[in-house]
């Protein structure tokens, strides 16, 4: 199947436009794409007519141009025939927004749809999904434009069985400054499945990190997915639901998925090149750090802080995350101390964490970061910055990012995310250094780097 027309459409047909309901999903999709994206949009309604002075076509074959992507938002009973019409009209792909298929007990309708598409090698997303969002290109989500939160363009692709989880993650990505290349809702994944999207995204030049929210795999499908991800040169992140008996039942009623034996699945992916996110916070943290650094680490962390309490919390979080915070050798401690401003040499602690105290200056943080970046004793540095310390300036993000670029050792920062500190945060993020709004999040980022090397 050729998925390019799905992600890079030049023409879009929205099927199911309502003349009576302005908030009908098809109407919302038509309005948000028409004149806002570089895609020519055509509306389809069996009765024809107009929508805000735009003509509506009674049939796909009446549209004067060939259609790359059809968005189908009609009643489930009509969808198999609409899909047949799409194929006859030369449409190249589809996103089926409509629900009421396998998840509602109508496996027969879903099977008919799949049979028609397979025979024609016609790719479609869904049914029972939101479709896809590609920044500056297309948006098939039936969410009103004034309510939708869109992350900045970036290099993380996120594929989700649940449209709600996908939208929530887009909000969290936006809050934490994680940019997206593609957001894909696959719903019942009747035809296009995770493995198909993984293979496509491996060759997508815009995508560097591929993340999935999975409810379940068909029999044998999980193994195929794991083996494909194991050889991926791009980081693959997976968050799964249906881990408990109750969760298993919820998954089955949502997208008719087989949740399977989670313990066996978790054990399998732990042996391969996949990062499992236990929850949404881990997912966002892993996506952010892996969009900056892709080389796996062993998990030996060096911590620099201006507050002993912050350092202690980071050490505890590292222990929970399975990271090590090694005690530094005496010669490394001496090098760290010699690089400090004389006014704090006698009061700063050179253990791990390195506690520079509230009297530290930018130069002290930078000097310590340079020393640890050059040392083989750690393979990742976490800097806990308190922007309200008098000796710390808003330039610290830029300066520490230059250290990371010079030594090629991952640096992760903690900075409270409030508007007053945006310039400091930008200094990190604009230079490719990830920043977490919490100590735990910074540690989780380091955990995300601790993965098996690709086969």
What's the CATH fold of domain 1-128?
Rossmann fold (3.40.50)
> In the numeric block, which tokens belong to residue 154?
């970036």
Which residue from 376, 293, 305, 415 is spatially nearest to 315, judged by alpha carbons?
A: 305
Domains of the chain, residue spans: 1-128, 149-291, 301-449
Which residue from 444, 349, 436, 340 is spatially nearest to 385, judged by alpha carbons?
A: 436
Q: How far apart are CA 158 and CA 43, in angstroms?
A: 28
Phi and psi (nearest 5°) for 380?
-160, 145
- Tell me whether residue 414 is exposed, middle or buried, using C-beta atoms within 10 angstroms of its C-beta: 0 to 12, 13 to 18, 19 or more: buried
HSE at residue 400, side-chain half, CA atoms within 13 A, is 35
Which residue from 149, 163, 171 is spatially nearest to 215, judged by alpha carbons?
A: 163
Which residue from 441, 186, 122, 398 is spatially nearest to 310, judged by alpha carbons?
A: 441
> In the numeric block, which tokens belong to residue 289?
């750090």
Q: pLDDT tens digits, the chain, 455 residues: what are they?
A: 899 999 999 999 999 999 888 899 999 999 999 989 999 999 999 999 888 889 999 999 999 999 999 999 999 999 999 999 999 999 999 999 999 999 999 999 999 999 999 999 999 999 999 999 999 999 999 999 899 999 999 999 999 999 999 999 999 999 999 999 999 999 999 999 999 999 999 999 999 999 999 999 988 898 899 988 988 999 999 999 866 454 445 544 444 554 456 777 777 787 778 999 999 999 999 999 999 998 999 999 999 999 999 999 999 999 999 999 999 999 999 999 999 999 999 999 999 999 999 999 999 999 999 999 999 999 999 999 999 999 999 999 999 999 999 999 999 999 999 999 999 999 999 999 999 999 999 999 999 999 777 66
Return the CATH architecture of domain 149-291. Answer: 3-Layer(aba) Sandwich (3.40)
HSE at residue 195, side-chain half, CA atoms within 13 A, is 15
Task: Say if residues 255 and 162 touch (Cβ distance below 8 Å).
Answer: yes
In eight-state DSSP terms, residue 209 is E
Strand order across the beta sheet in which 411-414 lies: 354-355, 301-305, 380-384, 411-414, 435-436
Phi and psi (nearest 5°) for 136?
65, 15
CATH class (in words) of the domain with range 301-449: alpha beta
Phi and psi (nearest 5°) for 248?
-60, -45
Q: If residue 369 lies in a helix (H) or strand (E), which one and from where to where?
A: helix 362-373
- Report pTM: 0.91
Q: Residue 128 — left, alpha, or beta (φ > 0 → left; ψ -120 to 50 → alpha)?
A: left
The reply to whether domains 1-128 and 301-449 share a CATH topology is yes
Task: Say if residues 193 and 221 touch (Cβ distance below 8 Å).
Answer: yes
**∠441-410-357 over CA atoms, to 5°?**
65
Q: How far apart are CA 50 and CA 73, in angstroms?
A: 18
User: How far is C-alpha 302 from the geometric centre of its chain's CA atoms?
Assistant: 27
Q: How far apart are CA 369 and CA 428, in angstroms?
A: 14
What Å distances lie between residue 80 and 70, 114, 372, CA to CA? 13, 9, 61
Coil, strand, or helix at residue 294? coil
């Amino acid at each position: 199947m050729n998925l390019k027309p799905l992600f890079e459409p030049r023409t879009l047909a929205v099927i199911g436009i309502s003349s009576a309901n302005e908030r009908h999903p098809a109407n919302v999709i038509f309005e948000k794409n028409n004149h806002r994206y570089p895609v020519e949009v055509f509306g389809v309604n069996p009765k024809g007519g107009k929508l805000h002075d735009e003509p509506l076509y009674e049939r796909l074959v009446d549209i004067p141009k060939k259609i790359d992507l059809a968005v189908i938002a009609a009643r489930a009973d009509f969808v198999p025939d609409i899909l047949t019409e799409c194929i006859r009209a030369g449409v190249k792909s589809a996103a089926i927004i409509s629900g009421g298929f396998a998840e509602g007990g109508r496996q027969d309708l879903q099977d008919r749809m799949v049979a028609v598409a397979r025979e024609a090698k016609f790719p479609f997303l869904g049914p029972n999904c939101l479709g896809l969002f590609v920044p500056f290109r297309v948006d098939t989500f039936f969410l009103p434009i004034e309510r939708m939160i869109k992350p900045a363009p970036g290099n993380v692709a996120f594929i989700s069985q649940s449209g709600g989880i996908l939208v929530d993650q887009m909000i969290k990505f936006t809050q934490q400054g994680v940019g997206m290349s593609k957001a894909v809702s696959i719903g019942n994944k009747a035809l296009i499945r995770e493995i198909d999207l993984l293979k496509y995204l491996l060759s997508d030049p815009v995508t560097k990190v591929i993340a999935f929210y999975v409810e379940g795999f068909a029999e044998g499908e999980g193994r195929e997915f794991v083996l494909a991800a194991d050889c991926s040169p791009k980081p693959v992140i997976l968050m799964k639901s249906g881990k408990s008996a109750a969760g298993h039942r919820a998954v089955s009623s949502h997208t008719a998925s087989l949740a399977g034996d989670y313990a066996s699945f978790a054990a399998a992916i732990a042996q391969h090149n996949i990062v499992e996110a236990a929850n949404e916070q881990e997912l966002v943290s892993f996506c952010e750090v892996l969009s900056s650094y892709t080389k796996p680490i062993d998990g030996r962390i060096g911590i620099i802080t201006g507050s002993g309490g912050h350092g202690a919390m980071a050490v505890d979080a590292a222990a929970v995350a399975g990271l090590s915070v090694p005690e530094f050798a005496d010669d490394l401690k001496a090098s760290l101390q010699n690089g400090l401003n004389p006014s704090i040499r006698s009061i700063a602690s050179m253990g791990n964490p390195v506690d520079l105290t509230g009297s530290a200056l930018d130069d002290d943080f930078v000097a310590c970061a340079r020393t640890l970046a050059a040392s083989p004793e750690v393979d990742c540095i976490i800097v806990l910055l308190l922007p309200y310390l008098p000796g710390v300036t808003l330039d610290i993000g830029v300066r520490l990012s230059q250290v990371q670029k010079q030594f090629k050792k991952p640096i992760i920062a903690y900075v409270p995310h409030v508007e007053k500190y945006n310039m400091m945060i930008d200094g990190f993020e604009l230079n490719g250094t990830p920043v977490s709004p919490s100590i735990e999040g910074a540690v989780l980022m380091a955990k995300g780097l601790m993965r098996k090397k690709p086969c």
